[in-house]
Structure formats: structure tokens, C-alpha cells
Structure 1
Amino acid sequence: MTDVALDKTDPAGSLPSTEKESDDIIEEKIQENPPATDAEGEGAAGGVYRYIKGDLFTSEIFKVEIQNLPKYIGFNDLKKFLNKHGINPHKIKLFSRQMFAFVTFKNQEERDKAMKAVHGMQWKSKVLSVRLAKPKADPILKKRRQEEEAEGGQPGAKRAAGTQEGEEDEEEPLNIQIANAVTPLWNVPYEEQLKRKEKEVEGVLQKLTREIGNNNKAMLPWLFVQKEKYNKMCCPLEAIQPSPVQMEYRNKCEFVIGVGADGEDKTVGFRLGKYKGGSCAVVSPSETTHVSSEAKRVVQGFQQFIRTTPYAVYSPETYEGHWRQLTVRTSRIKQTMAIVFFNPQKLPEEEIGQLKQNLRQYFTEGEGKESAITSLYFVRMGQRTSAGTDDLPCEHVTGEEWIHEELLGLKFRISPHSFFQTNTPAAEVLYSTVGEWAQLDQDSTVLDVCCGTGTIGISLAKRVKKVIGIELCQEAVEDAKANAKANGLTNVEFHCGKAEDVFPTVLNAVMSPNVTAIVDPPRAGLHSKVILAIRRAEHLKRLIYVACNAKAAMNNFIDLCRAVSNRVRGTPFRPVRAMAVDLFPQTMHCETILLFERVEYSSETQTTET
């Protein structure tokens, strides 16, 4: 499950601190803008297209607009259509209602090839047209220009509504602003927070009920009974489980490095807003409620160090500078890992080597020793074509290679890139519930999909015959194997790869009559191939879905329950139990557990829909 490309199931990690600037951030950090006039000038020094430079790759400079698309097509339809005709887009942004799409390419050759191939082509009775598209405008420069124009043309235009002439527009203190940005429920009583989250999940289940009815008419009689029982929901929603701790609960935080909102340079903390909102200001986490005191101590020590160096902070506006991000991982057994992200630009290797040596000395012998770091890593971030950091090699600088944690009486090691739930006490509540709902015995086989460091499968291993874990991150798989060994387990195995590639093969190889799947995917949910494989495997009768964003996983839920068709084979599932578990106090996010069971038809017949 992803803190933006980091914690795959942690929506609370999607904070202003974690925005990555690279090629893909053009998608994230710049808003769609109407074609610019020549006067704006893509290459003008002060223009809103200044982020486009010859020595920095961005696919925005190889962008086209495809018009007159057929109605009702989806992203995958367009991608398959283009691939079928030998076109390999870098990114696609589809506006299906307006029947057009922006498509970018990695180079001019690919772009020109696509324009030549697609323009005038017929697709579902529609004749497509293609034209060059302007890049998006940089939001900070765009906002700055608008403010300058407002100030020049209408004095006082920036004044807040309701402020009288001569009055100062008073802003809230920075600690309040950052609390509102990263922990928006910080001033809401915890019981009220839980009620809001439970209400949110209730709405998701009510929507799912409607969607099941729309996509599987055979379930309508059952749905009618369920809705009468459970307030228009398809299954009972059990009482939300609170987090055992509501303060300083995060064991992993990502801090951006930039210019402070108070004007202080080289500030480590959280962004007040996202780049696409026109803000890069950074505020210290010192007064935030969800960050641990151990992490705050590391931030303070690291900030002190970088302020003694000659290297500037990285600017997402100009793509210049070096210091980019600090990730801190902590554990309940008082181990702390720090991961420093640095853009080397064109610094010589010797200078980078000396910098790493200075970091090592500072945190082991110097003033930074008080930070109590037990593991230190250094990561080089360049101008890349991916917004994530999970694929970047981590250079071990000093200390142990891992930190360790205890959960449900078991021991786990954690690598820099490995996923581990960010609220350990609440994760124990979550995993205990999963274990209870799974109804396992010594003949059971558990498939742990998107298993991270193996926490769920390992916590259930002693109750079952076999556990098979699947995980994309190689580091996490190595951790999972080591964790199984450290806990004396021999009935556990782990496979590395994309779930959509590995899961069907693993599932088909399992001959056990008692198979339960537990899936804990990233925010976007499981790939449709995984859902289709689950549906086809008739011997798989029970599925527990752990969703960090139930709204985003809605398509998965619907596909599990929809009627049989040419695309979806196998008897459908239906939801029989649901619960919210609060892993992210002070925010609107929570984990949702849904138990799905295979429909048992007695006299009913399942019709095939094409």
C-alpha cells in the first residue's frame, strides 16, 4: 500500500511534505492551462513555462491532444488502442466526457509517429484528430504572475474578503497552519473523529450496495434483505476500532527540505500546501501531534547539519540545488533509521564521498549523536522519469542495515524501502481482526497479497498449514524471508513481482481445498488481472480485503461481486462483514476491512452477460 510513492497503504502519508519533483511531477505539480499566447513565451525567463529546459527531461515538450474520441471509453481502452497501433505513450490524461485526451511521449520521434498514425484514423465510428498541445503552466510562476497583475491593475485585490481599507490581513500562526495541512482533525475530539470516519465508511458501503445491484441482478433479492437490516448497506458495519495511541503514532515520516515559511533557509519539515497550489513554503514539524519525538529530534539535528554545508536546498521551481528530502523510520524498541535524499547535480564523486563522511561523523561523533540514529542511508535523486523513490538504490552510510520492530509478539526487520504499517499499535488491532475473520485452521492455506515485510502472513502462520506471500519490493521480500526465519517459521514462502503477474500462477498451484486470500494493496487497489484470477479460482472461498482508501478500491469490490461475463469468469463474491480501523488519528483517513465470501447458489442459476 503509498506515503505518496512510499507507504503503499498510508493515505495519511500523502501530505504536503511528500511531493516529489521529477518528470512525473509535471503531472502532479502543474495544472492544465489553456494554450499560451506567443507573448507568454515558453522560453521566456519569467514565463510560466520556465520549467522547460533543454537539459532537463519532461515529456510535456512532446505532448499532443487527441480529439473526437468515442464516448464511454476508459483509460485502459485508449492505452490498448494506441499500443495496438504500435504507439507507446509516456503518459495519458483522458477527459472522457469531453472526448479528448492529452498524451505525452519520451521524444519527438515517438510523438511525430503517433501524430502521423492516429490523425484521421477511425475508432468506433469516430474519426480522430491530433494536434500539438502546449505544455502545462508552472503553478508557482502562474500564481506569481496573477498576483503581480492583480497588484498592478487593482490595488488591494489580494486583500481577504471582508477586510477593510487600512486593516492588516492577519494570518494564523504557522503551527496552526501546518496542523491544518497535515492533521486537519487535530482540534476535533477523538470520539467525534471516529464517528466521522465510521460515517464515511458507511457511505462507501451504501454506494457499493447500489453498484452491486447495478452489476449483478441475481443479487437483488439478497441486497433487498441486507439493506433493510443494515441501513441501506450490503453487510453489517461493525463498530470502528480506535487507535490505541492518538499522538506521536507515526513510525515513518517524510520531510521535505526547502525555504521555511518564516524565511529561514534550509528548513526540514512539511509543506504548507502542494506545489500545484502554488506553494513551496516549509514548516518545522516540532509542534505537530502525529510525529514522534524521536523523529523530531532527528529532523532538528539534520537541519542543523545541512545549515553548516554550502549546498542549497533543491528548488522544484528551477530544478537547482541539492538537499531534497529526509525520511525517518522509528520503532518501539528505540531504533531509528534516517534516509537522506540528495540531488548531486554535477558535483564530483570525491565531494559527494566527503559529504557522506561528514554525515557519518556528525551523527556518530558530533552534535548529531543526540539524534540516536541507529541506521543512516544516503540516496541520490536526479532528474528522473519517475516520481517515486522506491526504485532508487540506498547507500548505507553507518549503523545497522535495518531497524527492528515487535508486533503481536513477533520480531520484524525493516529495510529503507520496505512497507510497514505506520502506526504499530493500531496495526496490531488491524491484524488481530483479520486473523479473527479469516476463520483459519491447520488445513488452511493463506495467500498474503501485497505482503510488505510479511506482517499479516507471519502473524497467522502458526494457525495454518501454509502461507504464501506476494510483494513487488525486493527489499521487502528479503525482509519477509528473514522475518519468517527469525520467528522460527518453516511453512511460509514469499514471491517477488507484480501481483498481477505472480498471483494467478501461485493461485493455480495451490491445491488446498481451504484457501483464504488476504489482500492489502496500495491506495489505487489491486490490478484487475488479480481480481479476475481470484474470481476464476473457485476453490478460493474467502477473501479479506484491507483497504486504506475504500473509495479508490470500489472497482475491485464491484468486480468481485459482478455477474459472470465474457471478461469475468467464476462465481461472484459478496461482502458479508465490514469494519473501520483507525490507523491515522487527527486525519480523515482510516483502514477498512471487508470480508467477501463466494456466493453459494442452490437452485439459482447464474446467467452469462456479454
Structure 2
Amino acid sequence: MSRKKKNIVIEKLPIESVAAEGKCVARHENKVVFVEGVAPGDVVDVRVKRKKKSFLEAYPIHFHEYSKLRVQPFCKHFGTCGGCKWQHLTYEQQLHYKQQQVTDNLQRIAKVELPEISPIMGSQQTTYYRNKLEFTFSNKRWITQEEINSAEELDRDALGFHIPGRFDKILAIDHCYLQPEPSNEIRLAVDQYAKANQLTYFDLVEQEGLLRNLIIRTANTGQVMVILQFYYDSKEEIEGLLKYLQEKFPQITSLQYVINPKGNETFHDLEVKTYSGEPYITEEMEGLKFRVGPKSFYQTNAQQAYDLYKVTRDLAGLKGHEIVYDLYTGTGTIANFVAKGAKEVIGMEYVAAAIEDAKINSQINSIENTRFYAGDIKDLLDDGFMSTHPHPDVVITDPPRAGMHADVIKMLLKVAPKRIVYVSCNPATQARDLALLDEKYSVKAVQPVDMFPHTYHVENVVMLELKS
């Protein structure tokens, strides 16, 4: 190892395995080294960017040997774009490490008695599987060193993804393998029109410029939603772009726009205006229809979501007489999906707009045995609520990455439903919650599901039963 002040380089470091968040693990002088952008089996020189008492964080600067697990990434943006960080691993290896991630978290954090963990369910599609993508406009395109060296006059406007760690730099995307067409065609057409008509791209630092954000949603029914965000209202320029999209892409069934003068791109508190078509698109699942509006949450891998929900329903073990509570219900997708197998389903969700969507989804499917409530789950699920509502036989919970609030867990232990089905997008926080639930519950089944190929993210479903 060579040192130059804080500049530490470790030479010929063998990469051993995969760790959390997609980084890999190596060891050097009795310290763990977390390295990004490598694969198990690589031998690399790395530069340390962060030094702690028990571990180091580093990035590769030279490869001596490449792992036999590697494959050629299919996207030209790999390594610069922040998405699809596992493209350099075979899909079989990706599934192996995701299974390992679930196992490690449950064993090391939960520390509860576990059944045999079922093999991970791989995604039927590994490319073009997403139904929603968000792109950002910027007048500060990410410039490569090769472009800098060329000394040519460069176009700095870009429509694409944020560079990791750089909120103000956007990577212009030529082709994205995440979402099916017409996603790429629409994005490229918007970019070309904007440049041809000299529309201004947003400056993320100075907070100026017309074009801010583009969202494209595609449904398994073939419907397409496009939402454009503008920083200020410029009627002629906005209508020109929207009319162009309406005429060029007749397959767009919902064309909407937002005027957003805020300091960030969130628009849940802003009016979304419909320029043409319906204010929503429709997804279908097992004969059920789910309306997806511009502010709606819907699983971004619809095909794999269907498999995830089937696992959830199977583990719930419904016979038709059960009262089911669906915590963190979102737009009521799971609640409506399992309703036909239950006596009643009560859904709770923090976002009020999502609850309105959940009610609509019940109405359009003629589902009459659901009830939905908006509010923070830790405040909703209390003694007062339980005194006026039927006791749950089964609780399904699908919390955000942070997991369940401690007060929610305390209430579940107090209410003590016979069965809990815990759906998680973060096995670490799920494992933490399982340790708390272990006071009264036993883990009976564990089923990992891959929702996001070529990323380190993994979904996990755990079924718990009340101890006798």
C-alpha cells in the first residue's frame, strides 16, 4: 500500500464477495474494504475515499484480473449512470447474491428461528420491465473527459438521469433498457423538439429555465401516460410542445403537465392538468383493473408485482371468513387483490390521495368488502380504532424502506392477529422488525422476490404465525 497524505492506494486487492447496497467486500490489514464497481473474483488497485476505524470505502483505479463471473454490460451508459449497477454480473449470480442478502440480514439482525428460506423468484423480464421512469432536464450535461479534450463547442443541455452524487449534473440518455417503447422514442422526441425550438432547460443551481422533468408511465393494457413539468407558465411554448407530442404519439392516452415553481421536483401538492386523454391509465391484474394517476404509487415491475401479490395471498392463507388489515396499503392494490378471499379488508395509508385511489379501485371492480383510512399508521392503529372495528385475523404489512414504526409493532403485539404477512423492500429493516415481533410470533415462511433485475434491491415476503 502506498500513501501520500490522505491519498491511499491499495494494490492488487482480491475482491471476495458482495455486500449491502451492491458494493463488494475485500480485506486488507485486518480491515474490511467496501469497493464499488467491481465483482467477486476481480483483482484490483483501489483508491480509498473514506477511512473509518473498522472499515474502508474505496473505488477501483486499475484491474489486474477480471472475475469469471463478469459479463459484458449491454448498456453503453453502464458505469456512469447510477442505475442497473449489476449489469456486469450474470443474472444467475445476481439472484444468488440477493438470496444471500436476505439470508444474511435475517440471520445476523433478526436472530430468530428460521425455516428453510425458499429460492428467490427471478423476474420473468430482465430488461424493459419498468412501467415508470423519471427524467430530468438540465443545462449542465455531464461531460466526459474525451469531450473536454476535444476542445469542440459542446451542447450542454441534457434530458436524462442524475449522475450519482451530483444533483446538478445530468447524463443524457441515448437508450434506456428499463422501460418498453414508446418510452425511448418519446424522450428523444421531446429532447429534439426542445432544442429545435430553443426551449430553455432547467438550471438546477440557479433555479431557472422552463423545462424541469419528464415522467413516462406505461401500462400492461398498452396505455401510456406522459407528464411534463415546467418551472413557469409559458403558454405558447408549453402548448407547442404538448401539441407536438399529441400529434406525433397518438398512443399517448394521458398527456398531462404541471407548473412547478418550487425548489424541488415533487408535485404531490401541485395541480396536475390534463392536456389530452384521460387523467389516468389502467393496469390489469387477474381481471382486476387499477387506475394509476399522475400521483399514484403502483409497483414499477407490474408482471413481477403480480407474482409478489400471489405469494402474499398464498401466505395469508385466506379461507373466506377472515378480517384482514392491510397496513401501508398505498392505492389498495394488495387489499383489492385479496378481497375476494376474505370477509373484509381494512386498508390504512399515510397518503390521503392514495386512499382515494384505493376507494376508486374498489368501486370500478365492484368490490364491496373493503374499507380504507388515511393517516399515519402509528396514529390510526390504536385502542380507539380497535374498539370500533373488527379484530384482524390476518395482517398484511408492506411498509416503506424504513420498516414499521415501533408503535405499530407494539400495537400488533397487543392485537395479536393469528397471522402476519410482512412484505418488505428492505430485508435489513424487516429483520429488525422480526426481532421485535419474535416476542409473540414465529417465522414460518420466507420468500425472496426479485423485482429489479441488474440492481442490488430485493423484495422479501415473510409469514409469521402467533405462538401457541
CA contact (8 A) 1:174 1:283 kept: no
Q: What letter corresponds to residue 184 of structure 1 in structure 2?
A: K
Corresponding residue for residue 239 of structure 1 = 119
Q: Does 1:329 align with 2:237?
A: no
Q: What TM-score do you get using the length of structure 2 for normalisation? A: 0.77
| Equivalent of 1:574 in 430, 436, 442 | 442
Shift of 1:573: 2.3
Q: Does 1:591 align with 2:468?
A: no
Shift of 1:274: 2.5
Corresponding residue for residue 220 of structure 1 = none
Shift of 1:473: 2.6
Corresponding residue for residue 156 of structure 2 = 265
Q: Which whole-Å deviations, capped at 9, do the CAs of 1:276-311 have from their partners, x for residues lacking one? A: 6xx61312151x322222221221122123224444
Assess, with a 3 A threshold, how the Cα gap between structure 1 residues 188 and 323 changes in structure 2: closer, same or farther. same
Q: Does 1:360 align with 2:242?
A: yes
1:526-537 maps to which residues of 2 (within 5 A)?
A: 526-537=404-415
Q: What letter corresponds to residue 322 of structure 1 in structure 2?
A: L
Assess, with a 3 A threshold, how the Cα gap between structure 1 residues 506 and 305 changes in structure 2: closer, same or farther. farther
Q: Does 1:430 align with 2:318?
A: no
CA contact (8 A) 1:415 1:476 kept: no
CA contact (8 A) 2:78 2:85 kept: no
Q: Does 1:190 align with 2:105?
A: no
Counting matched residue pairs gives: 390
Shift of 1:387: 7.1
Assess, with a 3 A threshold, how the Cα gap between structure 1 residues 460 and 503 changes in structure 2: closer, same or farther. same
Structure-2 separation of matches of 1:519 and 1:532: 14
Corresponding residue for residue 261 of structure 2 = 382
- Secondary structure (helix, strand or coil) at the match of 1:594 reads strand
Shift of 1:363: 1.8
Structure-2 separation of matches of 1:589 and 1:582: 8
- Secondary structure (helix, strand or coil) at the match of 1:329 reads strand
1:46-445 maps to which residues of 2 (within 5 A)?
A: 175-177=76-78, 181-210=82-111, 226=113, 234-258=114-138, 259-261=140-142, 263-275=154-166, 280-284=169-173, 286=175, 288-344=176-232, 349=233, 352-365=234-247, 369-370=248-249, 372-384=251-263, 388-445=266-323
Q: Which whole-Å deviations, capped at 9, do the CAs of 1:436-465 have from their partners, x for residues lacking one? A: 100112210111112122111111111110
Structure-1 separation of matches of 2:359 and 2:313: 20
Q: Which whole-Å deviations, capped at 9, do the CAs of 1:395-450 have from their partners, x for residues lacking one? A: 22221110001112211111111111001110111000011100112210111112
Q: Which whole-Å deviations, capped at 9, do the CAs of 1:550-582 have from their partners, x for residues lacking one? A: 2234433333235xxxxxxxxx32322211101
CA contact (8 A) 2:246 2:255 kept: no
CA contact (8 A) 2:81 2:161 kept: no
CA contact (8 A) 2:141 2:157 kept: yes
Q: What letter corresponds to residue 515 of structure 1 in structure 2?
A: D
Shift of 1:320: 2.7
CA contact (8 A) 2:158 2:170 kept: no
Q: Which whole-Å deviations, capped at 9, do the CAs of 1:329-371 have from their partners, x for residues lacking one? A: 1101111111112222xxxx5xx33333223311223xxx237
Shift of 1:508: 4.3
Q: Which has the higher helix share?
A: 1
CA contact (8 A) 1:257 1:266 kept: yes
Corresponding residue for residue 367 of structure 2 = 489
Q: What letter corresponds to residue 196 of structure 1 in structure 2?
A: Y
Q: Which has the higher strand share?
A: 2
Q: Does 1:560 align with 2:437?
A: yes
Structure-2 separation of matches of 1:525 and 1:389: 24
Gaps of 5+ in 1: 1-13, 15-96, 98-159, 163-171, 213-225, 227-233, 563-571, 601-610
CA contact (8 A) 1:248 1:291 kept: yes
Q: Which whole-Å deviations, capped at 9, do the CAs of 1:192-231 have from their partners, x for residues lacking one? A: 1111110111101111343x5xxxxxxxxxxxxx4xxxxx
Structure-2 separation of matches of 1:597 and 1:202: 20
Assess, with a 3 A threshold, how the Cα gap between structure 1 residues 236 and 509 changes in structure 2: closer, same or farther. farther
Shift of 1:235: 3.1
Assess, with a 3 A threshold, how the Cα gap between structure 1 residues 356 and 472 changes in structure 2: closer, same or farther. farther
Q: What letter corresponds to residue 142 of structure 2 in structure 1?
A: A
Structure-2 separation of matches of 1:479 and 1:448: 15
Assess, with a 3 A threshold, how the Cα gap between structure 1 residues 374 and 266 changes in structure 2: closer, same or farther. farther
Q: Which whole-Å deviations, capped at 9, do the CAs of 1:510-544 have from their partners, x for residues lacking one? A: 334x5211111111122222222212213x12111
Structure-1 separation of matches of 2:62 and 2:302: 44
What percent identity do the matched residue pairs reach?
29
Structure-2 separation of matches of 1:190 and 1:271: 25
- Secondary structure (helix, strand or coil) at the match of 1:291 reads coil
Assess, with a 3 A threshold, how the Cα gap between structure 1 residues 536 and 285 changes in structure 2: closer, same or farther. farther
Q: What letter corresponds to residue 388 of structure 2 in structure 1?
A: A
- Secondary structure (helix, strand or coil) at the match of 2:420 reads strand
CA contact (8 A) 1:198 1:240 kept: yes
Assess, with a 3 A threshold, how the Cα gap between structure 1 residues 260 and 182 changes in structure 2: closer, same or farther. same
Q: CA RMSD in A?
A: 2.7
Assess, with a 3 A threshold, how the Cα gap between structure 1 residues 173 and 332 changes in structure 2: closer, same or farther. closer
CA contact (8 A) 1:243 1:583 kept: yes
Structure-1 separation of matches of 2:235 and 2:443: 55
